[in-house]
Amino acid sequence: MKSKTEFYKAFFEAVEKKGFSIRPPSSPDYVADIYHREKPVAFYSKQDAIIKNPFVEVDEKQIAKLQSLAKTTAIACGICSDKPYDDALTGKEQGGAVRINEHNGVVLACKQHPIFDYVLSTYRKDAEHGNAAIQRRYFYNKEAAFEDFALRSGLVDEKKLFSETELKILHAGLIKMRTVDNDLNQDDMDSVAALVDRIEDIVPELSKKERAFDFTKLFSQIENALER
């Protein structure tokens, strides 16, 4: 699974096949409202939790069915279901996360999730502000997370993966992608922007090109698309 948008599409389609319907969110805290026979029975939150509507009578079996559908859909999308670390070799972080590895001020972490099993992330430590986590990126696939950590931390030399010509071609494609592709969600856009930055670090002359793209408008389009 590359992004939560991929999961949302599959999950909402599965929900509707089971007799429920998806409506625009009634709160900015929700991704969508879930109806059954014209009654709002649950809400899917932006924290990826299915919340039973406390203001109407709801059959617990319906909530259990939605939970089951979410889990099976996530597994079908390819989440990381096998523990990606050894408990004896990891460190604990605040909030229940596990620190899998750390190198050059970059951390690879993981946290269990009731729907997505093991959600991995990479981030940099801000040495000037108490080593606070900054520039965090989330992954639902183990291989992608470990590759990102290797690149960000310098364990793998990105110059050895691509020639300068290939990097320039990739850079041009990414710039076009983040400008015209309205199907990317915020996580995808963050990843694209981070990759553009890394390429421009390797090939400095590329950073002279126009980079002032207004992400706010695109994020708004994405959120509006999810709410339909």
Strand stretches in 98-183, DSSP E: 98-103, 106-113, 117-126, 132-139
Q: Are 226 and 32 in contact (CB under 8 A)?
A: yes
Q: Check residue 182 and give its pLDDT.
A: 63
Burial classification of residue 31, based on how many CB atoms lie within 10 Å of its CB (0-12 exposed, 13-18 middle, 19 or more buried):
buried
Task: Round the average pLDDT of the chain to a whole number and report it.
Answer: 83
> Cα separations (Å) of 143 from 2, 114, 127?
11, 21, 28
Residue of 79 and 194 predicted with greater confidence:
79
Q: Check residue 96 and give its pLDDT.
A: 86
Q: Residue for token digits 């750390």? A: 102
Architecture of the domain spanning 4-77: 2-Layer Sandwich (3.30)
What lies within 8 Å, CB to CB, of 29 at 6+ separation is: 45, 46
pLDDT at 18 over 90: yes
Q: Are 89 and 99 in contact (CB under 8 A)?
A: no
pLDDT at 217 over 60: no
Q: Which is it for the CA torsion 196, 197, 202, 203, positive or negative?
A: positive
What integer is the mean pLDDT of 155-161?
64
Q: pTM of whole model > 0.75?
A: no
Q: Which of 138, 145, 150 is nearest to 102 (CA)?
A: 150
Candidate from 69-73, 77-81, 143-147, 165-169 with smallest mean pLDDT: 165-169
Could you give the CA distance from residue 81 to residue 116 in angstroms, rounded to a whole number?
8
Instruction: Provide the pLDDT confidence category of residue 178 given band limits of 50, 70 and 90.
Output: low
Q: Which is it for the CA torsion 92, 95, 101, 105, positive or negative?
A: negative
pLDDT at 228 over 80: no
pLDDT in tens, 67-89: 999 999 999 999 999 999 998 88
Q: Are 123 and 135 in contact (CB under 8 A)?
A: yes
pLDDT at 120 over 80: yes
Domain ranges within the chain, ordered by starting residue = 4-77, 80-156, 157-228
Stated as kind and residue range, the H or E segment containing 25 is none
